[in-house]
Structure 1
Amino acid sequence: MTSLNRFARRCLLLLVLSAPAAFADETLLYPAIPGSGPASALVIHGALDLPQIRPLLEAFHRDHPRIELRYRNLTTLALHERFLKAPSEADVLLSSAMPWQYRLANDGHARSLETLEAQRWPAWARWRRELFAITFEPIVMVVNETVIERFGEIRSHADLLALLERHGEALAGRVVTYDPATSGAGYTYAIEESRLSPRYWELVAALGRTEADLAGTTGEMLEGLIEERYLVGYNLLGSYARNRLVDQPHLRIVVPEDYALVTQRLALMPRLAPHPEAAERFLGFLISETGQAVLARDTTLGAIHPSLKGPGTAASLRRQRGEALRPITLGPGLLATLDDLKRQALLTRWRREFTRQEGR
C-alpha cells in the first residue's frame, strides 16, 4: 500500500462537539502527506452531506496530497450565517441555497476564477466567473409502497394534492416536508413553486390539514420515512434520496411528471479566502471534466459538464424527463426571493395556508 493510500485511510471524521450550537458541524480532515514541495491548506464549508462529498474530496486529495484538506458540513442557513460572521474562515463555499449564494457573489464577496475551464462553463450554470453551479438535482417525492397499494399511483403534484384531500385523515401526521422558515433550501423551493404552480397554495393548505411534520433537512425526512414514521415525503433532494434509499424497496422515489424543480449546488471562492491558490485549484477541479466525472460516477448529484452524456449527468436526465424539469434560474431573480418584505410576506402566507381549516 502506498503512503498516499495509507494517509487517505487515516482521514479523520470529527464530530465537533465544542462548537456553539448554531455552528455545530461534522468535519472531514485529510492531512497533508509529507513529501517534496511546500505544504498548503484548504478549508471548505459545504451544505453537502459527507457520503456525497467524500468521493470528490478523496479524488482531489489524491491529486494534491500536499494540501491539508478540511471540510465542514453545515446546514444551508448555518453556512451563510457563519460566513457573514467570519468571511475569512473558508476558502470555498458550497450550498444548494441558491439565493443566499447569489447574494454573496452579488455583494462582492466572491473572487473570480480566471481559467479557460471557467470561461467555457455553460452560461446557464454560472454567474460571471464568480459563482458556478456544479450539480443538477431534481426535487422529488418519496412515497411508501403501502400508500400506493392502498390509494393508487402518485405521479404528479396534482396526484399528491388529490391524495391529501381525499385521504388526509388516514395520513394524519404521516407526511413530512421542509419548513421554509428554518431551511434555506425549503424556502427556495416554496417561492419557486408559488410562482410556478397556480395550485401550490392549495397543496400547502392540504399539507397543513394532514398535520404534516416540518423538517429542516432532507436527511431528517429520509430517516423518518425509512423508520416508517412518515409515509409520504414532499420536496426532498433527489440526490440524497437516491443515495440513501438504495436498500429500501418499500420506498419509491417519484420525480413528478407535471413539473420537477431542479436545484444546483453553487460554489464560490470568498474574496478573503485564507488559501486562495488552493481554493482556485479545488474550484477548478469541481468544474473540470475529471472532477465532474467523479461526481457522475461516484455520487448521485448529477454532473453538468457538457462533455459528459452518460448516467449520472444532466444531459441524461434531460433526455429522460424533458420539459418537466424546471431548473431554478441562476440570475438576478434570485435576489428578489431574499427581499425582507417579500420573504416575510411569503412566510406569513405559508403559515396562514398551512394552518387554514377546512371551509375557512
Structure 2
Amino acid sequence: MIRCLLALLIWGQSLMVAAVEEFHLEATVEPSSPLVIHAAFDLPYARPLLEDFHRRYPQYDVTYRNLTTLALHERFLASPDEPDVVMSSAMPWQYRLVNDGNAQSIITPNARSWPSWAKWRQELFAFTFEPIVMVVNREAEERFGTINSHADLLNMVSRHSDALRGRIVTYDPVASGAGYTYAIEESRLSPRYWDLIAALGSADTQLVGTTGEMLDGLHDGRFLIGYNLLGSYVRKSVEAAPGLRWVIPDDYALVIQRLAFVPQLAPNPGAARRFIDYLLSLEGQGVLADEGDIAALHPQLNGPGTATALQRRYAEGLRPMPLSPALLATLDDLKRRAMLSRWQREFSGDLIGEPDSP
C-alpha cells in the first residue's frame, strides 16, 4: 500500500528523467523539412517503417525518439509543441490527450478510408492489432505442466509456488502505463484475476517496466514464465529460441492497438500528415507486417500475424480494447488509486478491507 501511494507521488518526476532512445535519418533532397516522431515503439520494430518512409520521401529529416509509455505521455504534457507525431500502445493516455483537444484532424486518402472501428474523430488512428501473450520455458512445462490459458497459469503457480519463486516476470502496473491498462482490463474480464495476482505475489514474481526486460530475462534463463508481454515483440524473439514457447491464451487474450495522432501544436504538420497517411497505407502496413513483425491492421493484409489472420484463428478468445470514451474511465484518479492499491495488497498478500477514503 505504502509503496503504491509513494510511487504515485514520485511518478511524474521520475518519468521526466527516463532514458530516451533516439534515431535520425537525414534528408537527402532539398528543400528539406523536419519530422519529429515521439513514440513508445521499440526501434528494432519501428526502424523498417521509418527507413521505408524515408526512401519514399527523402525530403524529410526524421528524428525518432523512443520512450516508455508513461514517460512519453509526461513529455508531451510538458512540451506539446515538440513532436509532429505521437505513437503509443498506452491506449487510455493517447485517447485522453486527443479528447482534451490536443490533436489535429487528418483528412488524407488513407485516413478517410481507414476502418471506422480503428479511428476516432479523424484525429486518433489505430495502426496495429497486438495480442497480449505469455512466454514459457519448455523445460519448465515438462516439469510443471503445459500452460495454454490463464487458468493453467494460476493452477501451476498455485501448486508450484516454491519451485517458481522469483522465476516469473510481468509488468509493474505502477511503473508502466501498459501494465496498468492490462491490469484494469483483465480485472473486468476474469473473475479469477485477483486469485492469479495473489498467486503471482506468493511466488515472488518480478515486476518490470517493459516487454524487452521480460524477454531478456527469459532468454538468459533468469525467468521461466513471462506473463502479459506484447505479442508483436515476442514473436520473432521467441521463434528463434528453441527453449521458449509463446502462448496466446485460449480462454481470453487482450488485444491492444498502437495509436497515433498529430498534435495540435505540431511544428511541421504537413510532414506529420504525410507520415500518418503512409502509416495507414497498404505499403506502410505491409512493412510493419513483413519487416517489423508487427500485427498490421490494414484489412487487405491477411498474412501470418496480421489482424485478419489473428481474428480468423482466434475468433472466440481475442478481446480487443475498444477505441471509445470507455478508455477514459480507466484514468479517473480515484479509480486509479483504488485499483493500484488493491493490486498491491493482493500481490503482497495483505488483507483487503474497505476501499480507502479519498
- Separation in 2, partners of 1:359, 1:275: 51
- In the alignment, which of 326, 330, 334 is matched to residue 319 of structure 2? 326
Offset from partner CA, 1:87-127 (integer Å, 9 cap, x none): 01000001000000000000000111012321221111111
TM superposition score normalised by structure 2: 0.92
2:174 — aligned with what?
181
Q: For residue 247 of structure 1, report the CA deviation from its aligned partner.
A: 2.1
- In the alignment, which of 241, 246, 269 is matched to residue 248 of structure 1? 241
Q: For residue 21 of structure 1, report the CA deviation from its aligned partner.
A: 6.5
- In the alignment, which of 13, 27, 39 is matched to residue 22 of structure 2? 27
- In the alignment, which of 200, 213, 219 is matched to residue 207 of structure 1? 200
- In the alignment, which of 137, 142, 163 is matched to residue 144 of structure 1? 137
1:112 — aligned with what?
105
- Separation in 1, partners of 2:187, 2:215: 24
**Greater Cα offset, 205-214 or 22-31:** 22-31
Offset from partner CA, 1:243-279 (integer Å, 9 cap, x none): 3223211011011000000111000000000100000
Q: Which amino acid aligns with 2:331?
A: L
Task: Name structure 2 gaps, 5 residues minimum.
Answer: 1-14, 354-358
2:277 — aligned with what?
284
Q: Which amino acid aligns with 2:302?
A: K
Asked if structure 1 preserves the Cα contact closer than 8 Å seen for 2:345 and 2:352, the reply is: no
- For residues 230-269 of structure 1, the aligned pairs below 5 Å read 230-269=223-262
- In the alignment, which of 116, 124, 135 is matched to residue 117 of structure 2? 124
Asked if structure 2 preserves the Cα contact closer than 8 Å seen for 1:172 and 1:211, the reply is: yes
2:342 — aligned with what?
349
Offset from partner CA, 1:169-192 (integer Å, 9 cap, x none): 100010010000010000000000
Q: Which amino acid aligns with 1:185?
A: A
- Separation in 1, partners of 2:311, 2:272: 31
**Greater Cα offset, 99-108 or 286-295:** 286-295
Change (3 A) 1:120 1:131: same
Asked if structure 2 preserves the Cα contact closer than 8 Å seen for 1:297 and 1:312, the reply is: no
Three-state SS of the structure 2 residue aligned to 1:198 is coil
2:5 — aligned with what?
none
Number of residue equivalences = 339
Asked if structure 2 preserves the Cα contact closer than 8 Å seen for 1:23 and 1:82, the reply is: no
Q: For residue 358 of structure 1, report the CA deviation from its aligned partner.
A: 9.9
Offset from partner CA, 1:115-144 (integer Å, 9 cap, x none): 232122111111110000000110000000
Task: Name structure 1 gaps, 5 residues minimum.
Answer: 1-19
**Greater Cα offset, 109-118 or 254-263:** 109-118
Q: Which amino acid aligns with 2:213?
A: E
Q: For residue 306 of structure 1, report the CA deviation from its aligned partner.
A: 1.1
1:59 — aligned with what?
52
Asked if structure 1 preserves the Cα contact closer than 8 Å seen for 2:86 and 2:263, the reply is: yes
- Separation in 2, partners of 1:148, 1:311: 26
Asked if structure 1 preserves the Cα contact closer than 8 Å seen for 2:108 and 2:273, the reply is: no
Q: Which amino acid aligns with 1:342?
A: K
TM superposition score normalised by structure 1: 0.92
- Separation in 2, partners of 1:210, 1:357: 15
Three-state SS of the structure 1 residue aligned to 2:94 is helix
- Separation in 2, partners of 1:174, 1:357: 22
Three-state SS of the structure 2 residue aligned to 1:258 is coil
2:78 — aligned with what?
85
- Separation in 2, partners of 1:278, 1:78: 24
Three-state SS of the structure 2 residue aligned to 1:211 is coil
The root-mean-square deviation of aligned C-alpha atoms, in Å, is 1.5
Q: Which amino acid aligns with 1:22?
A: V
Three-state SS of the structure 2 residue aligned to 1:245 is helix
Q: Percent identity over the alignment?
A: 61
Q: Which amino acid aligns with 1:310?
A: G
- Separation in 2, partners of 1:125, 1:92: 17
1:9 — aligned with what?
none
- Separation in 2, partners of 1:191, 1:239: 21
Asked if structure 1 preserves the Cα contact closer than 8 Å seen for 2:32 and 2:59, the reply is: yes
1:160 — aligned with what?
153
- Separation in 2, partners of 1:100, 1:341: 16
**Greater Cα offset, 292-301 or 347-356:** 292-301
**Greater Cα offset, 185-194 or 120-129:** 120-129
- Separation in 1, partners of 2:257, 2:297: 10
1:223 — aligned with what?
216
- In the alignment, which of 306, 330, 333 is matched to residue 337 of structure 1? 330
Asked if structure 2 preserves the Cα contact closer than 8 Å seen for 1:304 and 1:313, the reply is: yes
